[in-house]
A = this chain, B = another copy of it.
Amino acid sequence: MKKVKIYVTLRESVLDPQGSAVMGSLHKMGYSQVEDVRIGKYLELMIADEEKNVDALVNEMCRRLLTNTVIEDYRFEIEEAVSQ
């Protein structure tokens, strides 16, 4: 089994109201050292071992469903999952 970790972030040029709200809260709590907050998604997928081309598969799923490539960037890592 493969474990795929996908990081989805808003593109640099896209406003992040959720991040701004969190930064505002942190400032109100006294954390003025925080100069920027950006919020994205983190996905963990488990992929069956039969799949030979995990890299191509993940790219396809990201483009078709998991991300909005107009406003989001993504990157991912593939690991061998240790059975529990």
Contacts and interface: CB of A to CB of B under 8 A. Distances in A.
A6 to B, nearest CB: 9
A9 to B, nearest CB: 7
A65 to B, nearest CB: 6
Interface in A39-55: 39-48, 50-51
Interface residues of A, number: 33
| Count of identical protomers in the assembly | 2
Contact of A42 (B8, B47, B57, B65): B8
Interface string A19-48: 100100110010101111111111111111
A15 interface: no
A7 B29 CA distance: 21
